[in-house]
Amino acid sequence: MPTAETELLRQMFQAAVNAALPAQCVPPHLPVPPRGRTVVVGAGKAAAAMAAAVDRDWPPDRPLTGLVVTRYRHAVGPLDRIEVVEAAHPVPDDAGQRAAARILDLVQGLTADDLVLCLISGGASALLALPAPGVEFAAKQAINRALLRSGASIHEMNCVRKHLSAIKGGRLAAAAAPARLVTLMISDVPGDDASVIGSGPTVPDATTIEQARDVVARYRIAVPATVAALWRDPAAETPKPGHPAFRNAHAVLVATPYLALAAAAGVARKAGIAPLILGDAIEGEAAEAARVLAGIALSCARHNQPAAPPCVLISGGETTVTVRGGGRGGRNAEFLLALALALDGHGAIHAIAADTDGIDGTEDNAGAVLTPSTLSRARAMGLDPRAHLADNDGYSVFERLGDLVITGPTRTNVNDFRAILVRGGPRG
Amino acid sequence: MPTAETELLRQMFQAAVNAALPAQCVPPHLPVPPRGRTVVVGAGKAAAAMAAAVDRDWPPDRPLTGLVVTRYRHAVGPLDRIEVVEAAHPVPDDAGQRAAARILDLVQGLTADDLVLCLISGGASALLALPAPGVEFAAKQAINRALLRSGASIHEMNCVRKHLSAIKGGRLAAAAAPARLVTLMISDVPGDDASVIGSGPTVPDATTIEQARDVVARYRIAVPATVAALWRDPAAETPKPGHPAFRNAHAVLVATPYLALAAAAGVARKAGIAPLILGDAIEGEAAEAARVLAGIALSCARHNQPAAPPCVLISGGETTVTVRGGGRGGRNAEFLLALALALDGHGAIHAIAADTDGIDGTEDNAGAVLTPSTLSRARAMGLDPRAHLADNDGYSVFERLGDLVITGPTRTNVNDFRAILVRGGPRG
């Protein structure tokens, strides 16, 4: 049910996505072409769109070649000067391995007059999954699966992953030296740490083999003899800060979750609505995060704190859904249905929750919108919102209501976008 | 480990509690003594302390009698002019029933020259559990248990409860008429709705017998013949807004969760720390709420949004803990341990979480404090914070660290108090 409020919320979401679209965020950061050759490499959900922006804007008279790898169905093109291949995400496949090996080959033998332009975005880690020499692909996969089950933190997992890889943790930079290296990054990680985005193939790695060994010991993860042998070889250590490979290298964040939220805040401000950005890395179980954010929105309505209506609470980051039911829908539909139940039809509150990559979970929608009448309209159709939430079936509710947000794949990703609009004046 | 930051946070908590202490918040709202008699009645965790404040400040030459019921171990006194009895909470017992019946007797036969001063605080609903005439105590209890399991909303549960009671939903006001009626309330409910606090014995009830019937039908809750008979009797309806019983009645909120948070905000402001109140009714699973609030605090540190450091994020309300382990600790210890894990030792962030009633769950502490070194100190003692969280064992961690907040029962309750302090300057 489109209203002035949901239209504004959709415009805010579109502004957030636009701020992260490679066609918009890459060109301002393109380096000056070098004297020698330019080789474009890269990986991630946005890699093809980033390469397209480079291909379009790079001076036609300056040499440009390259190869980037993106997720299946995320390619654009074909491009004139850069090859785009597709591979599997989030579980790596052979296509990704082959692309990673070719990328390492492409950057060999360059000189200090040449430029390597590396395009990294979310998903790069899985798409560039090349095991270190001597390590079997299956062994690397088994350790990765064990890590995911172990309760290890993302920092601990990345430390191990970097020490099992032929390309991560700064090794791509080592391969590209002595060429000049510029990395353009679209961040989808909390804190926007360049060594974490795509497991940092072109930035120094401060973690060590010893720490990797500690992590697998702490979580009792078995490592095969090939990995144990690798970790006895000092040459297997990742390049550290100060390593000569980084002497002629720098990395630029061209899009981040926060910049996307700030773009959406600008749209709200122009419409006379006070934006309050709660954070770009809000995590937690989607339905529980919804209850907390509902409490904050209700406080705005009741107490003018943390912001006085008309205001909009903006947040990013990735919530999670512990799947208990058999329904349809991603974390944004789950969040929004739980939000509707927590707000219980409050007349002044509208909301949107959508994934900036355009795909909420595995459905065809990016997200959905909520209005004061979400629950009452659903119940009038005979739906039981609480039962749908218990079945993780948010999609079905918002589909029936005609309140899905559908964009198709945006070919970029700065995580989820959520905005809760609290109208001023008497409660409607 | 006391630091300047944890000392400030403890002072903020103390200010929040003080704002809700009956000795402080009751006297400013005492009415002018009437020409006739004054009868004090009331119930709740704060009832004895509220009665003590009345007893102390009521003019010695003006007649004052009365009876209030509080939770076991919450009595103070004996008082000179008001009887205090104790009863069971949260599951009602005979002592509470007898007290409710005596309270209804006490307010009978008064005239318009007399005053009934009713003191209501959290817990009053269980402490004044008197079934409507003809309904067995056991039947009322069975319906209540079924409601709690049913998934019914708090509004739906209260609607049924009021229509099974001899005293709730405005019936005490009806009994007290034509006396003048002043109700002083300490709120522990989201939204501070007077008809919800203690199930509103002295305020009009807008819900109906028909709605109560709908709720039990919707959740397939069996009602015995006595209840069915009661609900066929129009005289069993609760007094509605406009009912003559309320002609000479009014209710005052003397303390609320929000006022307590605002008092704590004042302490922060004086110390040069910008307070941001996120809400007085933050709900959700404690550990998940911690992850969300961690994301907001980290956003302050990284992006100066929603507030620029030095700042403190203040919130109230009651989180919940789905018990999965066998450890010790209430929802505040659980919240704080999950917060420590989500913040992962961030050098600029300290926090407190504590229950304003002085008791976090069933332990002897009100809550605990968190410092940047919480995790590292715990690990240095051989504790595994993640394992303790999985075992719902936050208390043990903060006890070992010497970081419990212990106040003893405060004899008031405006729910939980949480404050997350983000220091300015470089990350420590």
Q: What is the pLDDT of residues A280-290, one digit of tens each?
A: 999 999 999 99
In the structure encoding, which two tokens stand for residue B290, read together? 């911690």
pLDDT of residue A152: 81
- Please, where are the H alpha helices in B84-153? 94-106, 124-127, 137-150
SS3 assignment, position A72: coil
Span A334-353, mean pLDDT? 97
Beta-bridged to residue B279, according to DSSP, are: B315
Tell whether B375 is within 8 A of chain A (Cβ): no
Dist CA A265 CA A275 (whole Å): 5
Regions of chain B short of the pLDDT cut 50: 427-428
- pLDDT, tens digit, 9 for 90 and up, residues A47-87: 999 999 999 999 999 999 999 999 998 888 789 999 999 99
Task: Kindly identify which residue of chain B lies nearest to residue A300, measuring between CA atoms.
Answer: B279
Which positions 113-142 of A are in contact with B (Cβ < 8 Å)? none
Report the residue from A258, A276, A288 with minimal CB separation from B288: A288
Rounded to a whole number of angstroms, the CA Rg of chain A reads 23
Return the higher-pLDDT residue of A154 and A46. Answer: A46
Average pLDDT, chain A: 94
pLDDT of residue B428: 38
Give the position of tokens 């208990």: A324
- pLDDT, tens digit, 9 for 90 and up, residues B358-381: 999 888 999 999 999 999 999 999
Span A224-239, mean pLDDT? 94
- pLDDT, tens digit, 9 for 90 and up, residues A5-41: 999 999 999 999 999 999 999 999 999 999 999 999 9
Q: Outline where DSSP puts E strands in B44-82.
A: 64-71
Chain A residues within an 8 Å CB radius of B306: 276-279, 306-307
DSSP state of B348: T
Give the position of tokens 């019946």: B101
Fold for B21-255, please state it. Answer: Rossmann fold (3.40.50)
- pLDDT, tens digit, 9 for 90 and up, residues A193-209: 999 998 999 999 999 99
In a mutational test of the B interface, the residue from A159, A215, A288, A335 whose CB has the highest number of chain B CBs within 10 Å is A288
SS3 assignment, position B389: helix
Dist CA B142 CA B135 (whole Å): 12
Tell whether A276 is within 8 A of chain B (Cβ): yes
Burial class (CB in 10 A: 0-12, 13-18, 19+), A32: exposed
How many residues comprise chain B? 428
Chain A residues within an 8 Å CB radius of B291: 283-284, 289
Largest CA distance in chain B: 70
Q: Give the CA angle between residues A206, A211, A215 to the nearest 5°.
A: 130
Return the higher-pLDDT residue of A361 and B114. Answer: B114
Q: Cβ–Cβ of A292/B293 closer than 8 Å? A: yes
Strand order, beta sheet including B83-87: B83-87, B64-71, B38-43, B115-120, B180-186, B249-255
> Which among B111, B100, B123, B117 has a CA at the least distance from the CA of B357?
B123
Virtual CA dihedral for B217, B219, B222, B226, nearest 10 degrees?
A: -60
Q: Where are the domains of chain B?
A: 4-16+258-422, 21-255
In a mutational test of the B interface, the residue from A219, A269, A305, A389 whose CB has the highest number of chain B CBs within 10 Å is A305
Within a 10 A sphere around the Cβ of B175, how many other Cβ atoms?
Answer: 22
pLDDT of residue A190: 87
Long-range contacts of A146-150 (CB under 8 A, 24+ apart): A146/A219, A146/A221, A146/A222, A147/A215, A147/A219, A147/A221, A150/A219, A150/A221
Q: B50 Cβ partners below 8 Å, 6+ apart?
A: B22, B26, B42, B44, B68, B119, B121, B184, B186
Q: Is the pLDDT of residue A419 over 60?
A: yes
Task: Kindly identify which residue of chain B lies nearest to residue A191, measuring between CA atoms.
Answer: B302
Task: Kindly identify which residue of chain A lies nearest to residue B152, measuring between CA atoms.
Answer: A386
Chain B residues within an 8 Å CB radius of A277: 299, 303, 305-306
Position A45 confidence tier, pLDDT thresholds 50, 70, 90: very high
What's the half-sphere exposure (Cβ side, CA atoms, 13 Å) at A389? 22
Position A427 confidence tier, pLDDT thresholds 50, 70, 90: very low
Mutual orientation of helices B154-162 and B137-150 as an angle, nearest 10°? Answer: 170
Strand order, beta sheet including B404-405: B274-279, B311-317, B416-422, B349-355, B367-370, B404-405
Burial class (CB in 10 A: 0-12, 13-18, 19+), A93: middle
The CATH class given to the B4-16+258-422 domain equals: alpha beta
Q: Which amino acid is at A130?
A: L
Position A428 confidence tier, pLDDT thresholds 50, 70, 90: very low
pLDDT of residue A426: 54
